[in-house]
Structure 1
Amino acid sequence: MAADQETRPLGAQISHMLKDRGVDVIFGIPGVHNQEMYRGIEEAGISHVLARHEQGAGFMADGYARATRRPGVAYVITGPGLCNIMTPMGQAYSDSVPMLVISSCLDETAARRGQLHQMKDQRAAAETVCDWSEEARTAQAAYTLIDRAFEEFRAPQRKGPKSISVPIAALEASAPPAPKARGNHAGHLVGAEEDAGVISAALKKARRPLFVFGGGVTEASHAMTVLRQSGAAAFTTFAGRGIVAPDYPLFFGSYLSRPGSLAEIARADLVIAMGTELAEVDLWRAHLGHESLMIRVDLDPEVLSDAQNADVRLRQDADAVLRSLAEATSDWRGESDWTAQDVAAARGKWRGEVDTEYPGILPIADALRACLPTDTMIYSDMTQFAYAATETWDMDRPGHWHHPYGFGTLGYALPAAIGGAVARRGQPTLAIMGDYGFHYTMAELGVAVELGLSLPIILWDNGKLGAIEASMVGAQIAPNAVIARNPDFIKLAEAFGARAVQPASLPKMQDAVRGAFDAEGPTLIYLTPDLAA
């Protein structure tokens, strides 16, 4: 019997099946309950990254998925392992990141109490933070659910995490091999040319057309062609940065959350929102602010039917529509009533507001941006440094700055950057985090050392939960519980085996960052507000 046709424990067969579906890396932590899943990993030819905590494993899978646009896969144990990875699953669900979490589970819980890792309903718990959660009690069920997950990852729909729990006895039982992967039958949405015709007809009548691009748009070239040919102005959401070229004169930037953006949006006589939820975390207000005709293009029917009340709703892949729209507007002259001077004035005002709200950060962010290699992929955490940078830092390509926008979890950046660096060996990857967020997942620094990742880690230490303090003051609450005792971060990083440096000037910071990309292992670059003094 051929090796790939051998009967094996189901836990081993699952790894072989994942390899056949294109999985080359699994993030996770083994335990006595899920050890059968580890039997087949090396035999299948899959690399495994040992996280220090299941939360870290989940964020690594998330970071890997964002870097590759392929699903990130994690293995975790029953009960606490599944609970620990639920925060990353919630982040992936919020940001439409494809992730597959496979966990062990107890064989029976209704009539027995006091079992190791027991919880009341593991499947239902996971379901609260993912697309779907199912329990596979047989080998056939496991194979069917895994193929369902991968079919949905390929399909023209919003991506998100899936959870599959497999009872311990099933993992240990002998099982036939999984069926071979079938061809990609996910198909695509039809009618992109017709939908582009609807938009081009509206654009022809408009004098102040305005596009809003979100993370659902991935092909910048077609978006830029449409903008230049139509003379439209544009905003991007934070997730959509990089779709519009920074030097496009009618680009308002990613300043949608600035109150002043309302006036500019209200001036538009046509708004076309593509691949964006226009969510609270995009706008920080309930309504975009348009008073004109709005056209929405999105894969998710829930988005199309939201409270923004779009006049025209097109369930379609935004990139496909933009490709067709670029052809439909190929002979246009790019004229509109927007002016580069007005756009530049608005951007300058909004940048000034950010500089006032986050004093001292923008000069450091500007210096950091200037020293990064082309194609650097950035993962940031919930920290004031990132809040300021995501508004003011224009990206020159899409999909290269990843931030926990929706769920808003702390501790994201370091493990997510590790996942991204694993996916992008030889290409520059950077992590940005604050001092408090680093506490959440600092143990994963050991993984970066273990893997020898050339990963610069920007640690912004303002000695407090700065954004929370500011919010409390704004609400007339005496700041409370916003300061935690920090360790000596330099010594801590060195104890893990990482390089660490505290640059005394912006040029020295730039030298440290450049050197970190060439180092054999991660480098913690410790920054404080004094650097901008």
Structure 2
Amino acid sequence: MKRPLGAQISHMLKDRGVDTIFGIPGVHNVEMYRGIEEAGITHVLARHEQGAGFMADGYARATGKPGVAYVITGPGVCNIMTPMGQAYSDSVPMLVISSCLDEVAAKKGQLHQMNDQRAAAETVCDWSEEAKTAEAAYELVNRAFVEFASQRPRSKHIQVPIDVLGATADAGVPKRVGHLPVPRAEDVSAVAAALDQATQPLFVFGGGAANAVDAARALMAKVKGASFTSYAGSGISAADDPLAFGTYLARGEAERVFAQADLLVVVGSELAETDTWRDHLGHDCPMVRIDIDPSVFSQPQVNQDVCCVADARAFLAALEQAVATKSSSGWDANDVAAAKARWRAETDAERPGIADIVDRVIEALPAGCQIFSDMTQFAYVGRETTTMTAPKCWHHPYGFGTLGYALPAAIGGKIGVGNAPVIAIAGDYGFQYTVQELGVAVELGLSLPIILWDNAKLKEIEDCMVRSQIAPNAVQALNPDFCKLAEAWGAKSATPSSLEEMQKAIAEAFDQDGPTLIYLTPEVLS
């Protein structure tokens, strides 16, 4: 059926499993909205394009499906570039489709004009391309979804000129299917042989191994290896595994642990700065890396001997079948437990009192609850000290490290999972970056608890200044009455004065027909 191209794109997206689009309409992208309802797609109106991008990110993390956002030319693209950068760094499948001006070189002074919008977007995503014809738009949509399924997922941007969006076009092309790279038998055999010889193998599981949790746990049980997880990989190792060091990968003393290993296997982790905060893990043994992204192998690592391009789940499943079962481990479970206790104490000393409060929050969450957190000390502590029972349950802006992520991402995640529980955790300063998106949660009646940790300042930055012998400056700002602000939108609020009241407020928030702001301060809960 012939339709305007904007409508055809919506039908293409629907055919590829898209049921929700986040965005804001404008005079330049109205043609993209012509076919949304006809295609059977729900559109969520954000209050700001940054919020739309974070919602698409949260939707993708919570559901495993690509998140899609529609924005306008110029400022719309600029406003969503921060979420695009966040999705790129954290390997989140997000597709941003925008309008663009038909001509920018020979005609100046147009509404929303940028010198090179496509190139600007390209700086924060996997790729940014302009579709100058309907056929090009269809091929780029296909390309995006094939790559989401077959490569490391990252944000992508397609822009379409305004006149092209409104022009009549034939129906979109059939979808193509992508597949993750399969392991080579010789690679599996080589790693299995190395594991059979090792007495103290050590594994690092990153977010790229989150789809391989069953295979990873079965493998660890056979080879009696110890493990760390990155923050994004938290929950891959079994919560009751006595040889799992948890997410303390960045602790300085972890170098001593790595030095004890006689084989290091890194699965689905690029070992980024925000994973380790040091240049060298500390190992002096052979290192195996398994990843779907071969570019991570180019990073300088000591003894990086074997690099395997493969899907983590397929590789670990094959590896588990190939290795021999060990009767004992060279690692001592008592040493692992003692190290974790020391590291928790270090974390608590660095940011006093928060760890116990985080524990009580986690206790109050229903099974399977997904957590979306912001750049706040509450989350920094929780990411290290919390033992997750499953992966892909604590979502955080790890790599790009933007403020304002938690609330809109949690909204997107909640929309994606429906009745399943979701909670947001934000600090007082970061919450104000995207507080306006609270209106979306009220409008949609989302039962969303929002933990607001108010230490009345940029505490992490203040601590950094003090450590650097800089007199704290520009770390305090006037805060509103957050509860009244939430209530002004129609949300509920709670101000618990004890940990028990806090847990009760969290439990009640999950049963509400709208969001609940749960206001916490260090003074009240200390």
Same fold (TM over 0.5): yes
* Pairing 1:300–2:293 present: yes
Q: Give TM-score, length-normalised by structure 2.
A: 0.98
1:81-100 matches, within 5 Å, as 81-100=76-95
* Pairing 1:197–2:192 present: no
Q: Deviations over 1:46-96 (max 9, x none)?
A: 000000000000000000111111110000000000000000000000011
1:192–1:320 contact (8 Å) kept in structure 2: no
Cα distance in structure 1, aligned partners of 2:183 and 2:225: 24
1:193 deviation in Å?
Answer: 4.0
2:375–2:430 contact (8 Å) kept in structure 1: yes
Cα distance in structure 2, aligned partners of 1:144 and 1:207: 51
Matched to 1:357, the amino acid is E
Query: 2:365 matched to which residue of 1?
Result: 372
Cα distance in structure 2, aligned partners of 1:22 and 1:371: 34
Among residues 117, 120, 128, which one is paired with 1:122 in the alignment?
A: 117
Cα distance in structure 1, aligned partners of 2:184 and 2:333: 31
* Pairing 1:338–2:331 present: yes
Cα distance in structure 2, aligned partners of 1:526 and 1:187: 45
Cα distance in structure 1, aligned partners of 2:173 and 2:343: 56
Query: 2:520 matched to which residue of 1?
Result: 527
Matched to 2:347, the amino acid is V
1:228–1:334 contact (8 Å) kept in structure 2: no
1:20-169 matches, within 5 Å, as 20-155=15-150, 157-169=151-163
2:497–2:525 contact (8 Å) kept in structure 1: no
Query: 2:443 matched to which residue of 1?
Result: 450
1:334 deviation in Å?
Answer: 4.3
1:234-253 matches, within 5 Å, as 234-253=227-246
Matched to 1:122, the amino acid is Q
User: Is the partner of 1:146 in helix, strand or coil?
Assistant: helix
* Pairing 1:173–2:143 present: no
2:195–2:223 contact (8 Å) kept in structure 1: yes
Q: Deviations over 1:304-343 (max 9, x none)?
A: 12111411111111111111122123x5134221111100
2:183–2:308 contact (8 Å) kept in structure 1: no
User: Is the partner of 2:288 in helix, strand or coil?
Assistant: strand
1:499 deviation in Å?
Answer: 0.5
Query: 2:179 matched to which residue of 1?
Result: 187
Matched to 2:197, the amino acid is K
1:192–1:324 contact (8 Å) kept in structure 2: no
User: Is the partner of 1:518 in helix, strand or coil?
Assistant: coil
Matched to 2:131, the amino acid is A
Q: Where do 5+ consecutive residues of structure 1 fail to align? A: none
Q: Deviations over 1:389-435 (max 9, x none)?
A: 00010100011111000000000010000010000111000100100
* Number of positions where the alignment pairs a residue of Structure 1 with one of Structure 2: 524
Check 1:452–1:307 CA distance in 2 against 1; reply closer, same or farther (3 A cut): same
2:286–2:305 contact (8 Å) kept in structure 1: yes
Cα distance in structure 1, aligned partners of 2:517 and 2:53: 22
* Pairing 1:508–2:501 present: yes
Matched to 1:252, the amino acid is F
Cα distance in structure 2, aligned partners of 1:389 and 1:409: 18
Q: Where do 5+ consecutive residues of structure 2 fail to align? A: none
Query: 2:203 matched to which residue of 1?
Result: 211
2:183–2:314 contact (8 Å) kept in structure 1: no
User: Is the partner of 2:77 in helix, strand or coil?
Assistant: helix
2:181–2:292 contact (8 Å) kept in structure 1: no
Query: 2:305 matched to which residue of 1?
Result: 311
Cα distance in structure 1, aligned partners of 2:72 and 2:497: 45
Cα distance in structure 2, aligned partners of 1:334 and 1:426: 44
Check 1:435–1:231 CA distance in 2 against 1; reply closer, same or farther (3 A cut): same
Matched to 1:33, the amino acid is H
1:258 deviation in Å?
Answer: 0.7
Cα distance in structure 2, aligned partners of 1:273 and 1:294: 8
1:361–1:532 contact (8 Å) kept in structure 2: no
1:363–1:532 contact (8 Å) kept in structure 2: no
Identity %: 63
User: Is the partner of 1:212 in helix, strand or coil?
Assistant: strand
1:304–1:315 contact (8 Å) kept in structure 2: no
1:191 deviation in Å?
Answer: 3.2
User: Is the partner of 2:432 in helix, strand or coil?
Assistant: helix
* Pairing 1:326–2:320 present: yes
Cα distance in structure 2, aligned partners of 1:422 and 1:495: 22
User: Is the partner of 1:311 in helix, strand or coil?
Assistant: strand
User: Is the partner of 1:89 in helix, strand or coil?
Assistant: helix
2:149–2:180 contact (8 Å) kept in structure 1: no
* Pairing 1:425–2:418 present: yes
1:381–1:432 contact (8 Å) kept in structure 2: yes
User: Is the partner of 1:65 in helix, strand or coil?
Assistant: helix
Matched to 1:472, the amino acid is M
2:242–2:333 contact (8 Å) kept in structure 1: yes
1:503–1:512 contact (8 Å) kept in structure 2: yes
Cα distance in structure 2, aligned partners of 1:336 and 1:154: 37
User: Is the partner of 2:7 in helix, strand or coil?
Assistant: helix
Q: Deviations over 1:233-274 (max 9, x none)?
A: 000000000001121101111001110101111111111010
User: Is the partner of 1:500 in helix, strand or coil?
Assistant: strand
2:376–2:430 contact (8 Å) kept in structure 1: yes
CA RMSD of superposed structures (Å) = 1.0
User: Is the partner of 1:165 in helix, strand or coil?
Assistant: strand
